[in-house]
């Protein structure tokens, strides 16, 4: 091997060049939802399997991100949480993150404002 070829081989190996199994996997994609004006924005989001969604709370007070559905009839609201994810109370400026590892449709709501704050994540 010539001196230049040997130098290139040493530099390439030292810099981690090549197809090494130690190379870092790409970070999962992220969807963003904002809680603002007593609503989830956007209300519907489509992401890929393995992606993470981050909800950011920008209202005064607290909100939750609780998986499940809400039934509204006759002036009453019935919450039906399904225990797939639940942020607990999120105060102003705080975030909640959840990674979706299975394809499907995930509905969610705010336990404090179930009549107005509802959203849906479609995972493909």
What pLDDT band is residue 8 in, cutting at 50, 70 and 90?
very low
Specify the fold of 28-123. Answer: Immunoglobulin-like (2.60.40)
- Predicted local distance difference test score (pLDDT) of residue 50: 96
Distance (Å, whole) CA 106 – CA 119: 8
Q: Please choose, from the candidates 38, 70, 40, the residue with its C-alpha nearest in 3D space to the C-alpha of residue 53.
A: 40
**Mean pLDDT throughout 8-36?**
57
Three-state SS for 115?
coil
Q: Write out the H or E segment, with its range, that includes residue 13.
A: helix 3-14
- Give percent of the chain with pLDDT exceeding 90: 72
Distance (Å, whole) CA 14 – CA 61: 52
- Residues 6+ positions from 70 with CB-CB distance below 8 Å: 77, 78, 79, 80, 109, 114, 115, 118
- Predicted local distance difference test score (pLDDT) of residue 4: 42
Selected residue with higher pLDDT from 2 and 49: 49
Mean pLDDT of the chain: 84
Q: What angle do CA 51, 57, 59 make, to 5 degrees?
A: 155
Query: Does 97 have pLDDT greater than 50?
Result: yes
Q: Please choose, from the candidates 34, 7, 12, 17, the residue with its C-alpha nearest in 3D space to the C-alpha of residue 117.
A: 34
Distance (Å, whole) CA 90 – CA 81: 17
């Amino acid at each position: 091997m010539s001196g230049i070829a040997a130098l290139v081989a040493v530099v390439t190996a030292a810099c981690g060049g090549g197809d090494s199994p130690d190379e870092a996997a790409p970070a999962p994609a992220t969807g963003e939802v904002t809680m603002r004006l007593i609503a989830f924005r956007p209300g519907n989001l489509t992401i890929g399997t393995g992606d993470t969604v981050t909800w950011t709370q920008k209202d005064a007070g607290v909100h939750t991100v609780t998986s499940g559905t809400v039934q509204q009839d006759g002036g009453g609201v019935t919450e039906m949480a399904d225990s797939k994810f639940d942020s607990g109370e999120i105060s102003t400026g705080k975030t909640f993150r959840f990674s979706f590892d299975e394809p499907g449709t995930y509905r969610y709501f705010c336990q404090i404002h179930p009549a107005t704050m509802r959203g849906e994540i479609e995972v493909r």
